Amino acid sequence: MKKIHLAIICLFTGCNIFAQNIDVQPIPQQISKHNGQINLSETYQLLGATEASPYAVQELKDLLGEKQPANIGLRIYIGEKGDKSIRKFTRQIPNQKEGYYLSINEKEIVLAGNDERGTYYALQTLKQLLKDNQLPVVEIQDYPAIRYRGVVEGFYGTPWSHEARLRQLQFYGENKMNTYIYGPKDDPYHSSPNWRLPYPEKEARQLQELVKVAKENEVDFVWAIHPGQDIQWNQTDRDLLLAKFERMYVLGVRSFAVFFDDISGEGTNPVKQAELLNYIDEHFVKIKPDVTPLIMCPTEYNKSWSDPAKGYLTTLGDKLNPSIQIMWTGDRVISDITKDGIEWINERIKRPAYIWWNFPVSDYVRDHLLMGPVYGNDTQIADQMSGFVTNPMEHAEASKIAIYSVASYAWNPTKYNSEKTWKDAIMNILPDAATELEFFATHNSDLGPNGHKYRREESVNLQPTAQSFTESYLKKQTYTEEDFSILQETFNQMIESSDILAAHIDNNPIIAEIMPWLHQFKLLGETGNEVLAMTKAYNQHDQSLFMRKYKHVKALQQQMFQIDQTYNQNPYQPGIKTAEKVIKPLIDQTFSIVTQRYNQKYNTLLNAETNYMPHKLISDISQIKNLPLQVKTNRIQISPALEVIKWPGNGSLTIELDQVYPGENIDIDFGKPEIAAWGSLEISANGKDWSKINFTQEKNRLTASLQKKPIKAVRFTNIQNQEQEIYLRRFVITIDK
C-alpha cells in the first residue's frame, strides 16, 4: 500500500523515479525526487557522529561550516548499517558494498551507508546537492555496479608530482572512486633493478603521506611492484620481495599489486609467476587481516598478444589462488572493452577480469593531448569485471576530464552518458573558462597515426564544413560564403580560447600542463585565418595582399616549428601537435592548393610545402608497421615502442626515403645484446639492390657508419626462422642534407 500511495503522490506532485534535473556525479542507481527545496537552518542536531565514518563526519562538519550543532534545528542522521542512529532506516540501505541511502526533507537528512565507505559516498552526494544553502527534497538509493574503480598510474614517462597525486586522491574521493594503483614505470624503486631496495627517506615520507590522504578520501592506495625483468625464481628473491612489501606495510600501504607486463625472458613463465603470487598471498596477504586481495598484471595482458596454444592465461586461471585479481587491457594493448572480449578472457582466467583501460594514456603519442569524451566500452558487462581502472596521461590535471567520466561509467554504466559527462567534467575542472576549455578539448582528442591503430573522434561538428570546403575548393576552385564564415569563426575561436585559457595559468594547474599546446593552437588558428585571406586575395587578383598573407603564413609556420622543436622534447614522440585530425589538414591542404595555383597563374616559385612526412616505413611485423616516423633536422627515426616486440623469423622493417641522400650513420637499440646473431642490416641506393652493412655493438646499442654512401632505403631483417623478442627503443638514420 505504501508503494501505491507514493506512486499517487508522484503523479500529482511531479516526482520522478529518476530525476533528470538533479545532477549527481556519478549518476545514482535510483532517485525519487519530490517538489520543493529546504533551506539549511542555522542550527542542526547531529545524530550518530560518534559511530559513523570519521571521514564522512568531518566532511559533513566542514560542509555545515558556520552552522551550530544544538538540540534544536534540522535533524541529521549519519551512520552505517547496525548503528543505533540509523537503525530505523536499515531497510532503505542497499545491501551492496559501498551502498548508501540518502534522504532529504524538511524534517531531517539521513546519510546511511551499508559500510563506512557508503556513508562517505552519501556525504559526497549531499555536497553536490547543496547549492546556495538549499537542498532538494529527495531520496536516493545508490551503490556501485563495479567493485573496484579508479586509476592506475602505470604509464611510461615523467611520473606525476607529489602535489599532483595529492590533488588526484581528493578528486577520486569526490567522484566515488575507491582505487589508486601506484605503478609509474619510471619509478626506479618500483621496477628493475631497484625493486629490491627500500625507498630513500624523502620518497618514503611522500608515499606515507599519499597513503594517509588516500585513506581520508576512502581510496585504497595500491602499491605495485614490477620485478619480472630480472627476478630470480628462488627463495632469496621471494624473501626480498616480501621484505619490500613489509616496508610498504609499515608506511601504511594495505593494498598490493605485482606487475609482469612488458617483460621478456624467464620472468614470463606463468607457472613460476603463479607460484610466486600464491606464496605472497599465503605468506603476506592472508596473514594480515587488513590487507585487500592481491592484484596482478599478466605478461599476456591483451588478446592480440596471447598464444592459447602455449596456455599462459589458462595456467594462471588454473594455478592462481581464486582471490588474486588478474588485470586485462582488452582485445589489444589499447582497446575498448566489449562483451565478447570479456567473455573470452574470463573463460580462461576463471574469474572476472580486472580491467586496465589504456585511455587517456598518451605515452605512445606524447606529442598529443587526449581530452575528448570517454566512450566505446560496453555498458552491459559490469557483472563480468571485478574492477575498472583507467591509465591516464603524464599530465595529471588534463587527465581529470577522462577520469571524471570513468568514475561515472564504472559506478553506473547503464546510465552513463559520455557527452554529458564530458561536458560536466570540464565544468567541474575549470568552471570560469569551461566554454573555452570545451572548445579546446573538442579539437585535442585524437591520437594521430600510431602503432596501436587506436583513434578518437575530433572536431566532429566541424567535419562536414571542412569536407565541403575542401572538396569544393579542390575541384571547383570556389567555396560557399557559409563554409568560409564557419571556418573563419572557428579560427577566431581558436585564438580567443587560447588567450582566455592562458590567462588562468595562475589559478588552475591544468593550464600550466597544456600551455605549449595552447600556444600551438593559437598559432594554428592565426595560420588558418591567414590562409583564408590568401584564398580571398587570389580570387580578387590582389597579388600584393596575397604575398603579404603568404609571408605571414610562412612566419607562423616557422613559429609553430620552433614550438614543436622546443617543448615536450621527450625521446619518443617529441614536440607539440594540435588539432591534427580535421583542422590542420584542412589548413595545410588549402595553403598548398592556393599557393600552387598562384605559382601557375603568375609564374612564381613560392614554396607550397607544409610539414609532412616524405619518408615511408614498410614492415611485415604487425607491431611495427603502423608506427609513425619522425623527422628532426637531418635525422629520420621510428617512434619507439614501449612493449615487447615479437619479431617473426625472416621478418623485416624498411625505411624508404623520399630521395637519395648521403648517409652518415645508423643508430639502433633493440634492448638486447645478441643482435648480431640473428639480425642483418642493409642499405640500398635505389630501393631495389641491397648491400649488407657491418655494425658494431656495445651492450644493446648498434651503430653503423655509412661514410656518405648514397642511401634511398635502409632495411633490418631477422635472418633466422626463429621469432625474436626485442624492445624497439631506437632506430635512427642520420643523413647529410
C-alpha distances in angstroms, 699 versus 537, 670, 702?
59, 10, 8
Residue 262 annotated to the active site = yes
Is residue 657 within 8 Å of residue 664, measured between CB atoms? no
Residues 6+ apart with CB under 8 A from 646: 305, 623, 723, 724, 725
Distance CA 336, CA 580 (A): 22
* DSSP state, residue 191: B
Is the torsion defined by CA of 502, 505, 511, 514 positive or negative?
positive
In Å, what is the CA distance from 395 to each residue of 297, 368, 391? 23, 11, 11
Residue 408: how many other CB atoms lie within 10 Å: 27
Residue 615 has phi, psi (to 5 degrees) of -100, 165
User: DSSP letter string over 276-343?
Assistant: HHHHHIIIIITTSTTPPPPEEE-SS-SGGG--TTTTHHHHHHHHS-TTSEEEE--SSSS----HHHHH
HSE on the CB side for 512, CA within 13 Å?
7
With CA atoms as reference, report the closest residue to 206 among 150, 253, 151. Answer: 253
Q: Which three cell numbers stand for residue 14?
A: 511531479
Q: Can you tell me the distance from the alpha carbon of 421 to that of 417, in angstroms, rounded to the nearest whole number?
A: 6
DSSP string, 72-137: SSEEEEEEETT-GGGGGGGGGS-SSTT-EEEEE-SSEEEEEESSHHHHHHHHHHHHHH-BTTEEEE
3-state secondary structure of 422: helix
Task: From the candidates 142, 220, 261, 262, give the one annotated as an active-site residue.
Answer: 262
The answer to whether residues 654 and 618 touch, using CB atoms and an 8 Å cutoff, is yes
Residue with cell 627515426: 637
d(CA 34, CA 22): 11
- 378, three cell numbers: 560496453
For residues 609 and 557, is the Cβ–Cβ distance under 8 A? no
Which positions are catalytic? 262
